[in-house]
Structure 1
């Protein structure tokens, strides 16, 4: 029985020292990993966001801001009951330049 107790103590000590070594190695690896991600953020991610913003700005400059032609499709802009706000005909986030009413755009015949 005493031999079994000694064996369990030896195994426990070895597993604890091994765990301590793994934790210290993980901490060193974690510091290196954090440094790598910080470098990637400043070298790849932020310039990538900047390039995407520039691309969007340049495409917006060439974009036409005219209203699309109104085509009274029967399956679009169906009003089975009034909206509970405003005059009941406009959606909650209505944009008069882009969103047509059932009978056409606002301000046009």
Structure 2
């Protein structure tokens, strides 16, 4: 088979393939059936969101808040003991914000000062 014949067959196959992608969905009945299916799916997910997802978020938020408040209360009464390892609190120069000794995320409840 010559190269010309192969190219001609490829062009013919490509032309035939591009014309055979029509579908019955684009008819009026297929389009309406697709819309009805979409309406049902929207209603299903709306109900799942309202009756499952939102109550779950509310319940887990309550539980997490309760546990976190208990943890904070525990830290106020029994703070962690500071162990002054030599690699901690090494400063070659002061931080350019605040008092220069604490990072922006320093928390007095969870990050004790070495001076105390």
TM-score by length of 1: 0.65
How many residue pairs match? The answer is: 93
The residue correspondences of 1:1-109 to structure 2 (distance < 5 A) are 15=22, 18-20=25-27, 21-63=29-71, 64-65=74-75, 66-101=78-113, 103-104=114-115, 108=116
Distance 1:44 1:85 in 2: 45
1:94, distance to aligned residue in structure 2 (A): 2.7
1:73, distance to aligned residue in structure 2 (A): 2.1
Residue-by-residue CA offset, 1:42-67 (whole Å, 9 max, x unaligned): 11101111110221233235431232
Distance 2:84 2:30 in 1: 69
Structure 2 residues without counterparts, runs of 5 or longer: 1-18
TM-score by length of 2: 0.62
The structure with the greater share of residues assigned to helix is 2
Structure 1 residues without counterparts, runs of 5 or longer: 1-10
CA RMSD of aligned residues (A): 2.7
